[in-house]
Amino acid sequence: MSLETIKAKLNEWKKELTPGTFLGRRAYAQILYTPAGETESKDISEDMMKYLLSIEVTDNLSGQVDDMTVTLEDRAQLWQDTWYPEPGSKLDITLYTLNKNGVNEGIKELPVGEFEVDEIEINGMPTTVQIKAVNAIADTSLRGIKQNQSWDNISLYKIANDIAWRNGMSLDYEPGAQNNPSYEHVEQSDASDLEFLKKLCDDAGLDLKISTKTIIILDEYQLENQEPLIVFWRPGTASFSEQTSDDDVSPENPLNFTDFLSYSMKAKTRDIYRACHVKYKQGKNKEVIEGYFEAPNKQTGLTLEVNEQCDTVDAANKLAKKKLREQNRDEITASFSLYGDFHFMAGIVVGFMNFGAFDGKYIITKATHSLGNGYVLSLEMRRCLDGY
């Protein structure tokens, strides 16, 4: 339902309240629907809420497109027939909460984004319909058209900016000038802009994320070096009489969480390395180029051997660091489930306290907001690597 409708209903409910009582926490979704081939959207929130079993929206850090799934009760077969959403139709989702963190908090808003319907699934019994959608980039040339282009004496930022411009998108290049690789010659040959740019980012040790109208290039190492503004405390080991207000949050005064529905943590030892050694024989003379990088916090362990093309020792050292990071970044992972909260999104750094060997800084790699029987947030995280 729209924000105006929510406010109108709240005013009605407030009139019915007994003096001295307050409205409890609630969660809502606004859903705007645009049929395939059309440009004008319609608010279908109230129609959909009558049949809604759940709505699940996933925010990924990189490597996967953000997606959403709506599950509807459909005994009357409306969603299979008259209301059947054609593939290519779009859903624009906004989540709202009321009094999530206190009786006087009021309404909070989280614009989730626009998604394009790409799969519809019917199940029974009882009869339900699942509408699955992905971030709405499928109708752009970014993913759907093969391109051919070459660049000379150019940087990654400029290539990404060219690609964003020809797809009618903006560019958010977060690594900055200090991490902006340059190339003498780059060739895009019969590849979509999305796959071509992703390969360039992968080779540079950067991450690519696509929102509805923006290409975002991230440096996870930079993200991991942020000080956490949110801290998770092991339940039963700390208590806080008051929560920090959003306006006062800082690394010295973080948001503290002690109440979780469930959590799990995992540390793996197999295929984890202390160092990486790169060795490559170049040219007719088979000149040997070598690079090496050692994790600052590991005293023992195996060395990862890599044989990939490198033109200089400096490039080989950078490749060794990149490969070691790729191999070790999922060494320690965690999954948490808690009551829904808008503070969390992919890329946020969270501190863990009083979890023993699992203490440290973690980066959120996936945040899933689930609205149905209550509002639940599921987080997938990995511990930030130290020094690389």
pTM for the model stands at 0.86
Q: Per-domain residue ranges for the chain?
A: 3-135, 141-218, 223-268+331-383, 273-328
**CATH numeric code, 3-135:** 2.40.10
Average pLDDT value over all residues in the chain: 87
Residue 25: its pLDDT value, please? 67
Q: Quick one: average pLDDT of 257-261?
A: 93
- Rounded to an integer, what distance in angstroms lies between the CA atom of residue 350 and that of residue 328? 19
Sheet holding 273-282, edge to edge: 287-294, 273-282, 302-306
User: Superfamily for 223-268+331-383?
Assistant: Bacteriophage T4, Gp27, baseplate hub, domain 3 (2.40.30.150)
Average pLDDT over residues 243-249: 72
For residue 251, is pLDDT > 70?
yes
* Whether the predicted pLDDT of 139 surpasses 60: no
Tell whether the model's pLDDT for residue 360 goes beyond 90: yes
Task: Give the integer Cα–Cα distance in Å for 287 and 92.
Answer: 56
Q: How confident is the model at residue 138 (pLDDT cuts 50, 70, 90)?
A: very low
Burial bucket for residue 137 (CB in 10 Å: 0-12, 13-18, 19+): buried
Examine the pLDDT at 310 and tell me if it is beyond 90: no
* Alpha helices for the chain (secondary structure H): 3-16, 45-49, 141-144, 156-166, 193-203, 220-224, 313-328
Name the fold adopted by 273-328. Answer: Phage tail proteins - 2 layer sandwich fold (3.30.1920)
pLDDT tens digits for range 22-62: 555 678 888 999 988 888 889 998 888 889 999 999 999 88
Q: List the Cα angle 236/24/71 in 5-degree steps.
A: 90
Give CA–CA dist 196/84, Å, rounded: 35
CATH superfamily of 141-218: Baseplate protein-like domains (3.55.50.10)
107-123 and 90-98 beta bridge pairing: antiparallel
Identify the residue with better confidence: 286 or 224: 224
Q: Reduce the DSSP state of residue 357 to 3 states and report it.
A: helix
Q: What percent of the chain has pLDDT over 90?
A: 47
